[in-house]
Structure 1
């Protein structure tokens, strides 16, 4: 006869052997999935960065023996007029191109998001520049700026643009901006369209009932609702334009003289063609730090504006 304690005693569960086995295998599976990507990133990104930092303290020409020079390369950078000019040109180009590409991309995205015909096809057309090679398109633009536009200007009696602006030190950078904005706007347009699709249409309907104008709707509804996408586009655009290289190589090669020589082009020319490998590695390290600081500050400021 069973007692009361035996009747109310809960049954003893068997230990979850299988569950513990699955739980113990899950982290290992996760690590094995991440390990190949981590190894490739470390091998092709982290190791070259560490090697570059190492060579920045040497006088290596890129081959053969070298000597350690300590901080001499970094000190020389701050007194180099060519380096200073390359940074000035790069910042000027990046700021102008970032503003233009976001203004143009946002305007086109708003137009495409409105009720117009063939907007799906137009999205595909506007994305075409993003998938084209910059070098190939750069040579097409070079032909336009060198032959087509001067011929048209000459036929119209415009003497200022009857010669190629690529040969004018004060105007050549404008051609690079035009090419960069034309190509980069495609990606920004797609991001802005994705952001516009997250805006509830009820907000526009309520604003219309209140008699709000199109500009009022954009300023009070559209832009605040897509501010996160604006932040992403601004940060990515500025980072990409600071690293401008292909556009300059295809259009001017850094000329006339050094008028359009960006930091990336200077590093390439000096490090791989001018025997200044160690010196330009120091320039690369400084440039990397500058880009990181610009991105962090820009992200901080824009995110603070989103909260406000």
Structure 2
């Protein structure tokens, strides 16, 4: 055999080995990707399936029913297009009143819940002997269900305040707390803030505990007052917690239902009927499911838009601070 023939055989053998070696990493990477995809599907698949069945599919069907006149009972579903939305914005005065009332309540509840929650967090972050007990006491109202909480406070407003007012003569306790439009509104605010402030307190408390104490001590040595330390050091440091708390209070305040139902049931004369209760009444009491879904869709879009705007603004302020 000539040297030329041997060289050709050697080159062909090495080329085949090179191709085989090059194909091995590719097949290995493909199998590794398939394994990762299988593990991902194994862990995420059940959760996504449950989310689809419980949230995604009902949401999409609800969007469809928003354009129909279905009563929620019979099988007769008629497509009406935008008629439901035209009715809501032109003729349904109760929906418009509930919408404005919900916005008013949301603004008041957000401000008060965050102020009270942050104040409680500052209190229990101090070196007090009873700080652990105080944390538990302040958080306990959040563990009580909204319906039960509303009935408890209904008894307090009607019976408890009446007894205190008769014993002390203080006009504050003699007011018709659930029988007047203005006082009933503030009654709902009081109960909601009392329930939600403890949960918000825990988030602010976790943020306050991560504030570097050496910076605080240095500021105090330089002559900074407590208010200056709070404004220029503590507040910028807890800005991420503010973003979270605002997001939580906005969503919970807009969606208030159980406290509204059990405390006033929208009374007196629907003057305290929030939007979630109005949607529930429209769909399941008045049996106008299509109209109720139209209200719910508008509600969803408004809450989603406000939440996105809030998160984007507060995130920018976090970066700036």
Query: Could you tell me how far apart the structure 2 residues matched to 1:26 and 1:50 are?
Result: 31
Q: Select 2:56's aligned residue among 43, 46, 49.
A: 46
Where in structure 2 are the equivalents of 1:284-299 lying within 5 Å?
284-299=296-311
Q: CA deviation at 1:104?
A: 0.6
Query: Could you tell me how far apart the structure 1 residues matched to 2:130 and 2:158 are?
Result: 35
Q: Select 2:113's aligned residue among 95, 98, 101.
A: 101
Establish whether residue 72 from structure 1 lines up as the match of residue 63 from structure 2. no
Q: Select 1:125's aligned residue among 121, 130, 137.
A: 137
Instruction: Quickly say closer, same or farther: Cα 1:165–1:55, change in 2 above 3 A.
Output: same
Q: Select 1:138's aligned residue among 127, 146, 150.
A: 150
**2:6 matched to which residue of 1?**
none
Q: CA deviation at 1:118?
A: 2.8
Q: Which moved more, 1:21-30 or 1:261-270?
A: 21-30
Establish whether residue 245 from structure 1 lines up as the match of residue 253 from structure 2. no
Query: Could you tell me how far apart the structure 1 residues matched to 2:228 and 2:40 are?
Result: 50
Q: CA deviation at 1:302?
A: 1.6
> What CA deviation, in whole Å up to 9, does each residue of 1:172-212 have, x standing for no partner?
01010011001111110110011111111111110111011
Query: Could you tell me how far apart the structure 2 residues matched to 1:19 and 1:45 are?
Result: 36
**1:180 matched to which residue of 2?**
192
> What CA deviation, in whole Å up to 9, does each residue of 1:20-42 have, x standing for no partner?
64554122111221111111101
Report how many residues are paired: 299
> What CA deviation, in whole Å up to 9, does each residue of 1:116-150 have, x standing for no partner?
11323322222211211111121110001011112
Q: Select 1:210's aligned residue among 216, 222, 227.
A: 222
**Structure index of larger Rg:** 2
> What runs of 5+ residues in structure 2 fail to find an aligned partner?
1-17
Instruction: Quickly say closer, same or farther: Cα 1:50–1:220, change in 2 above 3 A.
Output: same
Query: Could you tell me how far apart the structure 2 residues matched to 1:169 and 1:18 are?
Result: 71
**2:288 matched to which residue of 1?**
276
> What runs of 5+ residues in structure 1 fail to find an aligned partner?
1-11
TM value normalised by structure 2: 0.88
- Which consecutive aligned stretches of 4+ in structure 1 deviate over 6 angstroms post-superposition? 16-20
